[in-house]
């Protein structure tokens, strides 16, 4: 509990003590003058609710008349005038207790989210002229070397210049398993270094770092309001004046014909207490705030509650292939030696070794994947020469032997008979002099949870899931068959993707939303055209964070369905609160108008309903089991 809340609690306790004393005096001190008894009740009232009256008067001066402070002040002051001293103080007491609890609940919710996103680094250990000094991260320049010790948070993005370690990325991705990092790998700000000492060469200034962009995204998310929030704001603007007018009419008009002024004024005052809209006004934004925080905990950053709300109405999901459903990295899938008289002319290890040597001077992703698959130190002394043959492959001389590694064109050029491979992927054919040795199949890996993603989207009621890609039809169809997709459009240029999305948008219903999922780099035009743009691979990707409405920080497509579940849960809580709060209020307003409800019931309809609605709103932060 904050110091401010503790101070308010202390004031409420003192005021409650005065109130209890006043009630006891009224009951047992029968000969006590009325003005003395009134003075004790007024003292209790001022201690408990003086700040409410002060705010009401101050707001009237600013032109903000119809708020909860005004309603409670008019109702309780009016109760004093009709002689209901105990009820006047009691209503203000319970109102203040409810407000205290509401403030505590809201602060607790904000604190939980703040702790969740507590990724801002406090300092950076920068090495200058051989001396290590502790400075503000904003003072570190690109190219400088920082030292990150075990237990410290990485303050800036960069590349590891020295050391190996494991990183806690939970605050960014929601993943509990540490990530192993080696010398030469990129690291991003916001992660916690767990084991070894790292020396990192800074690649971006703090203002452009991952942690800075994420914090800016989270802090500004509340500015993009959902339709439900805008509705509640407009509702409160008209609702409060209307109920004040109704209360005034209830207090004045009936006694003109029926008499009993004090009875009808009491009913009008009770009507005012019930009508306070704080339960809805507080709980709806808090629900969305909790939903955004819960999504962040699951590794999904949503740039505003309007996007969180829209996710629940997703009808069509259009997905890019490379980097979204596949990893976008090449891997050796098969090493296939050639056969001669039914026997292999070379072993798999020897075929892979010769190819790795031939490709050792190339930085092409395919070459790097072959070297990685070989996984051993290369003795460059064995390599006498190497020549890259544009559009064909490479020619290398290894141990005095001519080795050719490349595509079908290279084999035909060298007039070498080769085996036609039917597999999907990139085929590297290998030959020694004029003898065919076999081929190596290299392909982009499908993400482990890609099939789970498609199943999850269908389970969430998405009507169409479409894959768009610039890859060859055979490759696209193969990936689609592996993950359970039936609608595929392949061999598309970036402009073609926009045209396809336009056609798909034309087919959706008026209320349905189209979501496009891409890597946030090459798909910016389509991300912008879709109702909701989701970027994969957001961990450290500037383009992803900038281009998309939603960023999947864990690079897992299955999180898309999880985000939809979080969206639907949040909207469900919002609707529950609206129906519950307004339903109870309307019921008690009717009872108050007929004199059945007194101020005690009115307090429950205001404070009690608000507390219940806020507790329900806090459930939006709990995403365990749906992420």
Give the tens place of pLDDT for each residue, 126-175.
Answer: 999 889 999 999 999 999 999 999 989 999 999 999 999 988 876 666 56
The length of the chain, given as a count of residues: 627
Instruction: Point out the residues that are catalytic.
Output: 320
| 159, containing H or E segment | strand 158-162
pLDDT band at 188 (very low <50, low <70, confident <90, very high): confident
**Biggest CA pair distance of the chain:** 123
Q: Is the pLDDT of residue 574 over 80?
A: yes
Mean pLDDT of all residues in the chain? 83
CB neighbourhood size of 616 (10 A): 18
CA distance readout (Å), 505 to 461, 466, 558: 17, 12, 23
**Of residues 241, 256, 271, the one with CA closest to residue 78:** 271
Q: Is the pLDDT of residue 540 over 60?
A: no
Which residue reads 């499908």 in tokens? 446
Range 163-188 average pLDDT: 80
For the segment 40-62, what is each residue's pLDDT rounded down to a tens digit? Answer: 999 999 999 888 889 888 888 88
Predicted pLDDT at 584: 85
How far is residue 161's CA from residue 163's CA, in Å, rounded to a whole number? 7
Edge to edge, what strands does the sheet with 487-489 contain? 300-302, 550-552, 532-535, 513-518, 314-320, 464-468, 487-489
Range 518-535 average pLDDT: 76
* Mean pLDDT comparison of 78-92, 154-168, 232-246, 590-604, highest-scoring range: 154-168
How far is residue 459's CA from residue 413's CA, in Å, rounded to a whole number? 52
For the segment 466-482, what is each residue's pLDDT rounded down to a tens digit? Answer: 998 877 787 788 889 99
Predicted pLDDT at 398: 92
Coil, helix or strand at residue 435 = strand
Q: Is the pLDDT of residue 510 over 80?
A: yes
**Among the ranges given (117-131, 209-223, 323-337, 384-398), the one the predictor scored with the smallest mean pLDDT:** 209-223
pLDDT band at 224 (very low <50, low <70, confident <90, very high): low
Burial of 356 (0-12, 13-18, 19+ CB in 10 A): buried
More confident site: 76 or 146 = 146
């Amino acid at each position: 509990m904050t110091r401010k809340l503790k101070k308010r609690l202390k004031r409420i306790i003192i005021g409650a003590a005065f109130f209890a004393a006043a009630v006891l005096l009224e009951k047992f001190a029968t000969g006590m003058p009325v003005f003395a008894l009134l003075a004790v009740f007024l003292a209790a009232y001022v201690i408990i609710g003086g700040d409410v009256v002060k705010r009401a008067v101050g707001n009237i001066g600013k032109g903000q008349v119809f708020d909860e402070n005004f309603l409670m002040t008019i109702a309780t002051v009016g109760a004093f005038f009709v002689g209901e001293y105990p009820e006047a103080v009691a209503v203000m007491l319970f109102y203040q207790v409810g407000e205290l609890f509401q403030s505590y609940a809201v602060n607790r919710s904000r604190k939980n989210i703040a702790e969740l996103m507590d990724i801002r680094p406090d300092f950076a250990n920068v090495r200058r002229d051989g001396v290590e000094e502790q400075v503000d991260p904003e003072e570190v320049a690109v190219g400088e070397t920082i030292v990150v010790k075990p237990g410290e948070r990485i303050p800036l993005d960069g590349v590891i210049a020295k050391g190996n370690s494991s990183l806690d990325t939970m605050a960014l991705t929601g993943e509990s398993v540490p990530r192993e990092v080696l010398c030469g790998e990129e690291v991003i700000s916001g992660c916690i270094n767990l084991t070894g000492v790292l020396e990192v060469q800074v690649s971006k200034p703090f203002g452009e770092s991952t942690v800075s962009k994420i914090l800016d995204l989270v802090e500004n998310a509340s500015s993009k309001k959902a339709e439900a929030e805008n509705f509640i704001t407009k509702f409160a603007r008209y609702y409060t004046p209307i109920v004040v007018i109704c209360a005034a009419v209830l207090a004045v008009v009936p006694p003109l014909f029926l008499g009993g002024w004090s009875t009808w004024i009491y009913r009008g005052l009770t009507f005012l207490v019930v009508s306070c809209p704080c339960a809805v006004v507080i709980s709806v934004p808090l629900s969305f705030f909790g939903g955004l925080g819960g999504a962040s905990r699951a590794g999904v950053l949503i740039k505003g509650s309007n996007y969180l709300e829209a996710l629940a109405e997703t009808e069509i999901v259009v997905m890019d292939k490379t980097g979204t459903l596949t990893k976008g990295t090449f891997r050796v899938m098969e090493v296939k030696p050639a056969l001669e008289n039914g026997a292999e002319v070379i072993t798999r290890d020897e075929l892979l070794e010769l190819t790795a040597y031939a490709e050792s001077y190339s930085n092409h992703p395919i070459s790097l994947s072959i070297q990685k698959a070989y996984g051993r130190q290369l003795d460059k002394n064995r390599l006498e020469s190497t020549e890259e043959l544009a559009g064909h492959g490479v020619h290398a001389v290894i141990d005095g032997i001519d080795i050719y590694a490349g595509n079908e064109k290279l084999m035909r050029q060298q007039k070498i008979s080769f085996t036609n491979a039917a597999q999907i992927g990139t085929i590297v054919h290998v030959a020694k002099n004029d003898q065919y040795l076999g081929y190596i199949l290299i392909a982009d890996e499908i993400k482990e949870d890609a099939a789970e993603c498609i199943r999850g989207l269908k389970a969430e009621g998405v009507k169409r899931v479409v894959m768009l890609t610039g890859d060859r039809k055979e490759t696209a169809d193969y990936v689609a068959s592996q993950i359970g997709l039936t609608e595929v459009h392949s061999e598309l240029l970036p402009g073609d993707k926009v045209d396809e999305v336009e056609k798909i948008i034309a087919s959706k219903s008026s209320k349905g939303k189209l979501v496009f999922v891409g890597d946030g780099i090459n798909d910016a035009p389509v991300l912008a055209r879709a109702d909701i743009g989701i970027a994969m691979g957001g961990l450290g990707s500037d383009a992803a964070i900038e281009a998309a409405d939603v960023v999947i920080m864990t690079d897992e497509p299955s999180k898309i369905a999880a985000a939809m579940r979080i969206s639907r849960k949040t909207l469900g809580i919002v609707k529950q609160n609206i129906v519950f709060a307004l339903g109870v209020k309307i019921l008690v307003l009717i009872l108050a108008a007929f004199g059945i409800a007194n101020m005690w019931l009115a307090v429950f309809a205001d404070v009690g309903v608000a507390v219940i609605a806020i507790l329900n709103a806090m459930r939006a932060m709990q995403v365990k089991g749906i992420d």
